[in-house]
Structure 1
Amino acid sequence: MTGLLRYARGDDVALPKNGAHGFAAHHALVHYKSGTVYSFIPKNACSTLRYSMAIANSCISGPEDWTWIHLNNGTFAATLPELVRAPYSFVVLRCPHARLASVFLDKIVDRTPELWQLYRKMRDGFAPEGLTFRSFIALLDEENLLKLNIHWRPQIDFLVYEQYSRVFALERFREAIPVLQDEAGLAVQDARSLTGHGTDRVELIREGGFADTPLHELSALKRSGRLPSHAQLYDATLAARVAELYADDMALYAKHCDPQDLTFPQFLET
């Protein structure tokens, strides 16, 4: 069963004007054969699940069409009746520290539009080649930048329901695949080989600190087939600051998933 709409009653306005609900509803996708609603959160296996939904909803046939998903984020967005009537709902959460590190190593290091959006927002106020993970976090700490882009926007903003039929952890995503097949009739199609977003194709460096390594050095590492593991981007100060910035996401993860799967469980608020 699905739960109460999380943000519908948050503002004393007509629902179509409720920005928080509208944002979450736009990211709630419908699997039409079952009526299942999936809340997609960027960097949380969302390419794999959007690709799976596109195949299941008969819009694409396979790998040759996979880029279709990038132009159709809102194509399967749920209407209000679909949200209310959904017999099943699910979402995938991720450790906030790992998600932010993944954004940086993927979008920022590769200089995708997310970097240039941040650059323009800061009025060209930093040198991209010299940007480090520490300075990236410092920028997000500025007013309003935490919600500037969906790839680092807090995960809690994407949740359209108070409760979901299933809440899965990305860290244990393999366990979700048979459950989704059995309970929602959704066959999960792994898109990592198509998107190249994962770290399964590089050698992970698990020693040393990379919080202050500039972008141009990280880019060179990546071209050589190596990348620091997510944890190696942090020192204690950065880990504590990100835990504060994403305190709601930390609590959300701990409520529904195993807190020990967090990168830094010691920074959970008691």
Structure 2
Amino acid sequence: MSAPTGDPGASPRLLRHARGQLVTLSKNGPHVTAATQALVHYPTGAVYSFIPKNACSTLRYSLALANGCIAGPEDWAWIHPNNGTFRASLRELVTAPYTFVVLRCPYARLASVFLDKIVGRYPDFWGLHRITGDRLDPEKTTFRQFVTTLAKYKALTKNIHWQPQSDFLVYERYDDVFALEQFAAAIETLAARGIAVADARPLTKHGTSHLTPEDGAFADAPIHRLASLKRQGKVPAHRALYDEALVARVARLYAEDIDLYARWCRAEDMLFPPAAG
């Protein structure tokens, strides 16, 4: 679904963090973090706020095609060393004719990064391992331990893949806020804006859409077991990684993201919608 939160083409656009600190803008940490993730679609001048794990490979691949830097699927890996290549200038940020961002259910996003980066023991796992003083077991770490580690070691902002989505918002308002859970509608809206979306999932294999989801109780399943499951073409359903205690803990850790999603998207699209009232 799309949740418009501003007037298309409004200029200048109000930057979310600029006035929050009386320092040179280039030294304003929250703004720099968000501005670093703001990318330009050159044919239209649109600015897209790139949030890792939220269809980001698909959208970066689409921008690379549109901006004339790659020819097709054979070049898809180019996007990884070029995250900042299309970064918006200050002028491009405030004069963008159209702005958009993709949000994702915070519970699903955290489950996705665990099943990808942690179970796959990518550098993200080893970075977290070092933060703990090498206390994570590369074979036996569980989703519960992962969540506990993020809280215990204040590691929420130590990796962009699990950093809160709200940190990447450069504007007070966007013309369109899309939910990943309703991404088909986003593709149609973007096409009408002159932004073609090319699906990168078959190329990157980062997600779990090509695997068969398994129900059950996986909160305490060690990553060696989950890696074995993935080799069989299966993966725990995102919901299956949670129990009541983990839902509550993630709700506290990502309270701002949960509130943001509930306000700008459809709360019922979350794995565990907040209680009414």
After TM superposition, the score normalised by the length of structure 2 is 0.94
What is residue 191 of structure 1 aligned with on the other side?
200
Question: Are 1:47 and 2:57 counterparts?
Answer: yes
Map 1:22-33 onto structure 2 (within 5 A).
22-33=32-43
1: CA distance, partners of 2:154 / 2:55: 26
Counterpart contact for 1:44–1:93, Cα < 8 Å = yes
Question: Are 1:175 and 2:185 counterparts?
Answer: yes
2: CA distance, partners of 1:266 / 1:78: 35
One-letter code aligned to 1:253: Y
What is the CA distance between 1:197 and its match in structure 2?
Answer: 1.7
Counterpart contact for 1:7–1:21, Cα < 8 Å = yes
Counterpart contact for 1:240–1:267, Cα < 8 Å = no
What is the CA distance between 1:267 and its match in structure 2?
Answer: 5.5
What is residue 110 of structure 2 aligned with on the other side?
100
One-letter code aligned to 1:151: H
Counterpart contact for 1:4–1:163, Cα < 8 Å = yes
What is the CA distance between 1:152 and its match in structure 2?
Answer: 0.1
Structure 1, gaps ≥5 residues long:
none
What is residue 18 of structure 1 aligned with on the other side?
28
One-letter code aligned to 1:91: V
RMSD: 1.1
1: CA distance, partners of 2:134 / 2:153: 17
1: CA distance, partners of 2:48 / 2:250: 27
Return the match for 2:239 from 231, 237, 250. Answer: 231
2: CA distance, partners of 1:92 / 1:56: 19
Return the match for 1:266 from 254, 259, 274. Answer: 274
Q: Secondary structure at the match of 1:147?
A: coil
Q: Secondary structure at the match of 1:120?
A: helix
2: CA distance, partners of 1:159 / 1:82: 15
Q: Secondary structure at the match of 2:20?
A: coil
Question: Are 1:222 and 2:203 counterparts?
Answer: no
What is the CA distance between 1:143 and its match in structure 2?
Answer: 4.1
1: CA distance, partners of 2:207 / 2:185: 18
What is the CA distance between 1:200 and its match in structure 2?
Answer: 2.1
Return the match for 1:67 from 66, 69, 77. Answer: 77
Return the match for 2:264 from 221, 239, 256. Answer: 256
What is residue 146 of structure 2 aligned with on the other side?
136
Change in Cα spacing, 1:147 to 1:267, as seen in structure 2 (3 Å) is farther
What is the CA distance between 1:128 and its match in structure 2?
Answer: 1.7
Task: Report sequence identity in percent.
Answer: 60
2: CA distance, partners of 1:6 / 1:247: 19
1: CA distance, partners of 2:195 / 2:28: 31
What is residue 109 of structure 1 aligned with on the other side?
119
Question: Are 1:165 and 2:136 counterparts?
Answer: no
Counterpart contact for 1:243–1:267, Cα < 8 Å = no
One-letter code aligned to 1:76: F
Counterpart contact for 2:187–2:197, Cα < 8 Å = yes
One-letter code aligned to 1:203: T
After TM superposition, the score normalised by the length of structure 1 is 0.97
Counterpart contact for 2:59–2:197, Cα < 8 Å = yes
